[in-house]
Structure 1
Amino acid sequence: MPLTSARPAPLTFTLDPPVTPALRDGMLDLWADVTDAGGAVGFVPPADRERIRPELVRQFVAMDEGRSRLLVGHDQDGRVAATAFLTFNTHRLMTHWLWLYTVMVHPRHQGKGYGRDLLAAAERAARGFDGIEAIRLTCRGGLGLERFYASCGYKEVGRIPGAIRVAPGDDRDDIVMLLPLT
């Protein structure tokens, strides 16, 4: 009997989807679930949707102002399964690269290659923006995230020891990663 590896159905990625109540609620659920699973996405467990909501609203405002773009991956059931914000640099000497923020894959989908798919979709999107030559992101040390990003082509270009205080006595490095597009 032949052995085959059955990869789950791929996510469907959309750049700049319409912001609907369903998208908003799906993103809040994703952010809360990722936080509760220990994801390094700006909050610590237990997640509180009402504490996350203002940050999501800030991201939507940045999108409305043209400072940020949203990439969303939906699973085969139409649920929000992955997101990333591609945020343009406003400093006049740094407009040739953008930030990748709030990179999330729902815990139920982790280990299926969707994180790589999300980063590849973000790279494709960034390559389509005029004048963008690199993607920059930061990640929290202590979780091995820098190894994952490195396996996707990102290079560690900086590290600030103890810059992130997860809890009293639990300081983590802030790691800067860069993916050149040229």
Structure 2
Amino acid sequence: MPLTFEFDPAFSPALRDGITALWADVTNAGGAVGFVPPVTAEEIRPDLLKHLVAIEQGRTRLLVGRDEDGEVAATAFLTLNDHRLLRHWLWLYTVMVHPRHQSQGYGRDLMAATADAARSIEGIEAIRLTCRGGTGADRFYAACGYKEVGRIPGGIRVAPGDDRDDIVMLLPLSPAGA
């Protein structure tokens, strides 16, 4: 059964807890979403709070995917640029699909829903993201239409002696239906 996506959902403690649990589960399954396993929900909360503050300030938008039981199964945070010369594109952060839902096409569904959400924001012409080298995420994003536009060798230090490339990818958006 496909995920149901909601852009800019009403925030609640249940949604907060669902995102926190998703983030911890994705990290602990080896996902490259800003932490290195093992991680607890309490370690995730301060980073989620930063996203929530940005949402409250109107700088970030949230896309949530729910499974057939209504549980948070996927997320993406779309962050707007506040600099006048960069307002035509946005950043995509914390793209996650719960490990129990992976390999079912939900990641591609999430990326398509993210592109649709970005197109609904006036003036947005592209989505930019970064991903950690050595994880295969760059191949996944390329399969979703993103192009590598930059790479910082060793830009991400996962652990002492384990530096990964910081890969910058871009998806130009065309008007819906074009």
TM-score (norm 2): 0.97
In 1, the alpha carbon distance for the partners of 2:11 and 2:36 equals 26
What is the CA distance between 1:90 and its match in structure 2? 1.3
How many aligned residue pairs are there?
174
SS in structure 2 at match of 1:143: coil
Match of 1:71 among 60, 63, 70: 63
Amino acid at match of 1:82: A
Aligned to 1:59: 51
Counterpart position of 2:97: 105
SS of the residue 1:174 aligns to:
strand
In structure 1, how many angstroms separate the alpha carbons of the residues matched to 2:59 and 2:135?
29
Matches within 5 A, 1:6-21: 9-21=1-13
Cα deviation digits, residues 78-106 of structure 1 (max 9, x gap): 11000000100112110000001000000
Which one-letter code corresponds to 2:92 in the other structure?
L
Matching of residues 79-98 of structure 1 within 5 Å: 79-98=71-90
Rounded Cα–Cα distance in structure 2 between residues aligned with 1:147 and 1:54: 30
Specify every segment of 5 or more residues in structure 1 that has no aligned partner in the other structure, as ranges: 1-8
Q: Deviations over 1:161-182 (max 9, x none)?
A: 0010001110000000000013
Cα distance in 2, alignment partners of residues 82 and 138 from structure 1: 18
Q: CA RMSD in A?
A: 0.6
Distance in 2 separating the partners of 1:58 and 1:147: 28
Which whole-Å CA distance do the structure 1 matches of 2:140 and 2:15 have between them? 27
Counterpart position of 1:176 = 168
Q: Report Cα offsets for 1:108-131 as digits up to 9, x if no partner.
A: 000000000000000001111111
Q: C-alpha offsets along residues 57-81 of structure 1, whole Å, 9 cap, x if unaligned?
A: 1101100110000000000011100
Aligned pair partner of 1:35 in 27, 52, 64: 27
Please state how far the C-alpha of 1:49 moved relative to its aligned partner.
1.3
Secondary structure (helix, strand or coil) at the match of 1:156 reads: strand
How far apart in 2 are the matches of 1:111 and 1:123? 20
Measure the CA separation in 2 of the matches of 1:108 and 1:119.
Answer: 18
Partner Cα separation in structure 2 for residue 31 and residue 156 of structure 1: 25
- 2-structure distance, mates of 1:177, 1:41: 16
Q: What one-letter code is carried by the residue in structure 2 that aligns with 1:13?
A: F
Match for residue 144 of structure 2 among 125, 145, 152 = 152
Q: Distance in 2 between matches of 1:111 and 1:130?
A: 33
- 2:125 alignment counterpart: 133
State the identity as a percent: 74
Q: State whether structure 2 residue 106 is matched by structure 1 residue 114.
A: yes
Letter in 1 for 2:146: Y
Structure 1's consecutive aligned runs of 4 or more residues displaced over 6 angstroms after TM superposition are: none
TM-score under structure 1 length normalisation? 0.94
Report the AA paired with residue 29 of structure 1. Answer: A
